[in-house]
C-alpha cells in the first residue's frame, strides 16, 4: 500500500531517453508502486546549469518568453518519454529541443553488434544497410502504459489545463476552498474535452500544512515557530507567498515575508492549525465543494529538525487517529 512518489522530476533538466529508462527501471524495481511527479523547475541556480542544453531557464509562471520556453521544453521532454514508454521503437526529430533519435537521424553507422541486434533487437531497429535507424527503450515500465503522472504543485490555469490534456494528476497549491474548487472545475472541464469523465475533485490532489494541538491558539503558537518562517524565508522570494493573498491586500504589491505568519496561513486555509475538530472542519469545507477529491497531502517542511521530534510525531498521530478515520 505504500507508494513511491518522488515530487518531482524536473523534466527540462533531463535527457528524455535517459529519463524514460530511469523511470521504467524504478517502476520495475518497485513492482508498479511508482507515481511519478513531473515538474518544470523554478530555481535558476539549478535550471540555468542543468537546463542549458535545451536553453531552458527556470519557470517563472509569468507568461514571459523565458517561462514559455521552459513550458515548451517540459512538454516536449514529456512527449518523448511517453513515446519511449509506449512504442516498440522510437525514431523522432524534435524541433523544440533540436534533438534527434537516433543521432544522426539518417542512422548510426558502425554498430559492432549488428547481427546480434538484428536477431534479438526490436523490429525496425536496424535498417537493411546496417544502420541503427531507431532505438528501443528497455525495460518497459511495470505499469501499462506507464506510471501515473503527478504534477506538483500546480497554481496557474495554464498548468492545470495542460495537466488535464496530458492526463496528469495535478497537486494544487490553492489554499482557499473556493479557489481550489475553481481549479478542480477547470481540470474536470478540460479533461472532459479530452474524453475523460472525471467527477469534481477526482484525479486531483491538494497540499495543506496541518498542525494539531489541544487548542487552536496552541497549534498556531507551536507550529508558527517553524513552518511559516521557513516557508516565508525560502519560498517567499520565489513568489510563493502569493498563495497567502487576501482580498483586502493591495493587488500589485507583493506579499512580504513579514505577512507570512501562522495566523495568515490559517486565515487563508493554506494551513489547518487547530484542534482535531478544527482540521476536520477544514477538510470538510473542501469536500463540500469537491466531494470526490482524491488526494490530500500533508506539507511537512519546516517541522523536521526545527520542532521537537515528539511534537512532530504527536501531530501525525493525532491526524492519523482523530482526523483521517472520519473521511475513510
Instruction: Work out whether the CA dihedral 19, 20, 23, 29 comes out positive or negative.
Output: negative
> CA–CA separation, 289 vs 273, rounded Å?
20
**pLDDT at residue 303 greater than cutoff 80:** no
Pairwise pLDDT comparison (257 vs 313), residue with the higher score = 313
In the predicted model, what is the mean pLDDT of residues 189-204? 98
Q: What is the CA radius of gyration of the chain?
A: 23
Q: What is the pLDDT of residue 225?
A: 84
Share of residues in the chain with pLDDT > 90 (%):
76
Measured between alpha carbons, how far is 7 from 297 in angstroms, rounded to an integer?
A: 12
DSSP letter at 105 equals T
pLDDT given for residue 66 in this prediction: 94
Query: Tens digit of pLDDT for each residue in 117-137?
Result: 999 999 999 999 999 999 999
Give the tens place of pLDDT for each residue, 69-125: 999 999 999 999 999 999 999 999 999 999 999 999 999 999 999 999 999 999 999
CA distance 14 to 324: 37
238: exposed, middle or buried (C-beta count within 10 Å: 0-12, 13-18, 19+)?
Answer: middle
pLDDT of residue 122: 93
Q: Using pLDDT thresholds of 50, 70 and 90, give the confidence band for residue 169.
A: very high
Alpha helix (H) residue ranges in the chain: 16-29, 44-50, 65-86, 114-120, 157-165, 177-193, 216-223, 227-235, 262-268, 276-289, 309-318
Backbone angles phi and psi of 246, in degrees to 5: -105, 160
Can you give the length of the chain in residues?
328
Q: 225 Cβ partners below 8 Å, 6+ apart?
A: 306, 307
Whether 148 has a pLDDT exceeding 80, the answer reads yes
pLDDT in tens, 199-216: 999 999 999 999 999 999
Residue 156 in this model has a pLDDT that exceeds 90: no
Q: What is the mean pLDDT of residues 267-274?
A: 94
Q: For residue 232, what pLDDT is reported?
A: 86
Question: Where does the pLDDT of residue 311 fall: very low under 50, low under 70, confident under 90, or very high at 90 and above?
Answer: very high
Residue 257 is predicted with a pLDDT of 85
d(CA 301, CA 38): 20
Residue 319, pLDDT above cutoff 90: yes
End-to-end Cα spacing for the chain:
15
Q: What is the pLDDT of residue 189?
A: 98
- The average confidence (pLDDT) of the chain is 93
- The pLDDT value given to residue 48: 93
Local structure of 175: helix, strand or coil: coil
Q: Are strands 92-94 and 99-101 parallel, antiparallel or unpaired?
A: antiparallel
Please report which confidence band the pLDDT of residue 302 belongs to, taking 50, 70 and 90 as the band edges: low
Provide the pLDDT for residue 269.
Answer: 92
Nearest-angstrom CA–CA distance, 81 and 21: 9
Amino acid at each position: 500500500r505504500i507508494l513511491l512518489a518522488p515530487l518531482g522530476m524536473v523534466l527540462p533538466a533531463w535527457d528524455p531517453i535517459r529519463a524514460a529508462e530511469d523511470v521504467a527501471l524504478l517502476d520495475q524495481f518497485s513492482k508498479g508502486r511508482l507515481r511519478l511527479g513531473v515538474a518544470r523547475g523554478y530555481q535558476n541556480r539549478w535550471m540555468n546549469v542543468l537546463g542549458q542544453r535545451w536553453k531552458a531557464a527556470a519557470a517563472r509562471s509569468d507568461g514571459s518568453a523565458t517561462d514559455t520556453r521552459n513550458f515548451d521544453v517540459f512538454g516536449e521532454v514529456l512527449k518523448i518519454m511517453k513515446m519511449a514508454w509506449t512504442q516498440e521503437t522510437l525514431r523522432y526529430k524534435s524541433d523544440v529541443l533540436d534533438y534527434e533519435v537516433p543521432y544522426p537521424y539518417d542512422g548510426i553507422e558502425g554498430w559492432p553488434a549488428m547481427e546480434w541486434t538484428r536477431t534479438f533487437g526490436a523490429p525496425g531497429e536496424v535498417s537493411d544497410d546496417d544502420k541503427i535507424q531507431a532505438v528501443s527503450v528497455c525495460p518497459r515500465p511495470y505499469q501499462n502504459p506507464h506510471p501515473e503522472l503527478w504534477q506538483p504543485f500546480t497554481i496557474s490555469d495554464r498548468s492545470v489545463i495542460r495537466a488535464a490534456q496530458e492526463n496528469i494528476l495535478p497537486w494544487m497549491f490553492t489554499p482557499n476552498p473556493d479557489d481550489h474548487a475553481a481549479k478542480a472545475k477547470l481540470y474536470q472541464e478540460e479533461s472532459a474535452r479530452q474524453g475523460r469523465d472525471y467527477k469534481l475533485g477526482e484525479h486531483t490532489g491538494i497540499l495543506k500544512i496541518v498542525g494539531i494541538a489541544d487548542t487552536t491558539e496552541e497549534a498556531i503558537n507551536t507550529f508558527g515557530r517553524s513552518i511559516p518562517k521557513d516557508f516565508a524565508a525560502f519560498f517567499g522570494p520565489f513568489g510563493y507567498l502569493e498563495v497567502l493573498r487576501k482580498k483586502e491586500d493591495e493587488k500589485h504589491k507583493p506579499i512580504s515575508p513579514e505577512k507570512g505568519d501562522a495566523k495568515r496561513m490559517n486565515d487563508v486555509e493554506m494551513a489547518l492549525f487547530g484542534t482535531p475538530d478544527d482540521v476536520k472542519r477544514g477538510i470538510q469545507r473542501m469536500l463540500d465543494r469537491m466531494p470526490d477529491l482524491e488526494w490530500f497531502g500533508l506539507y511537512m517542511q519546516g517541522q523536521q529538525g526545527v520542532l521537537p521530534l515528539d511534537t512532530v510525531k504527536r501531530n501525525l498521530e493525532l491526524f492519523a487517529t482523530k482526523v483521517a478515520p472520519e473521511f475513510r
